[in-house]
Amino acid sequence: MVLIGITPELDMHNNCYKLNQSYVEAILTSGGTPVIVPITSDIKQILSILANLRGIVLSGGGDPDPFYFGEEPLQTSGPINPFRDQFELGLAKEALALQMPILGICRGCQIMNIAAGGSIYQDITHISNLQHTQMAPRWYPTHYISIEAGTRLFNIIQDNKIRVNSMHHQAIAKVAPDFAVSAISSDSIIEAIESNNGKAIGVQWHPEELLDTHGKKLFAYLVRESEKTV
Ligand code: MN
């Protein structure tokens, strides 16, 4: 089975990793072998890790440092994790260059877009009144998204309107070159992007919490694409 790396959160206060088990279950039940990728900024180590992986899940987490897309931090920007930022941006850049299959989830979608030269909104509550930081449980879909016909995402989900969960206060602003928007919410916030070669998919929602419905399709796609790259 193909090895799929999942990036963890680094808890800086306790100096330990954190990862929601749902990400692991999502890969396990999709026929891949999940491994948690250790956090390092050493690019030689990152390349060595990538040489042993066939696909990547960039997991959710806190806000990326706006420095990386050329902005000063706003009052409403969240806590920054310099170690995780440097590691994931390096990993994403190298994985994109290798055309490795990537599924970017929430923060992971934003990291991928920044790594590829795009930017994000530091706080979408300034531009939208739709509840993107839902009060419902994580596994419960709360808002609709429209999926663009003809995109890879549409191919995967096979539906043009679905309900998703929403646990984000940031979103894609400038879409990176070589990427396109594949889904938006009713307030026109970008909810999904994909690379033009179809290898990298980024979603703003959390499919690992929606495995009983359309969430599973994204992980199955990642595993299928990863098997092709062996
Ligand atoms: Mn949302």
Segment 108-153, tens digit of pLDDT: 999 999 999 999 999 999 999 999 999 999 999 999 999 999 999 9
The proportion of the chain whose per-residue pLDDT surpasses 90, expressed as a percent, equals: 99
CA atoms of 16 and 6, how far apart (whole Å) = 15
- CA–centroid distance, 142 to ligand 1, in Å, is 9
Active site residue 208: yes
Cα 45 to the center of its chain, rounded Å: 22
Residue 9 among the catalytic residues: no
Are 120 and 69 in contact, with CB atoms under 8 Å apart?
A: yes
- Cα 58 to averaged position of ligand 1 atoms, centre (Å): 17
For 158-217, write each residue's pLDDT tens digit.
999 999 999 999 999 999 999 999 999 999 999 999 999 999 999 999 999 999 999 999
pLDDT band at 229 (very low <50, low <70, confident <90, very high): confident
* Residue 126 annotated as catalytic: no
Q: Which among 208, 209, 214, 225 is annotated as catalytic?
A: 208
Longest CA pairwise span in the chain (Å) = 45
Identify the H or E element spanning 191. Answer: strand 190-195
- pTM assigned to the model: 0.97
Strand partners, 164: 143
Beta bridge partners of 172: 120, 190
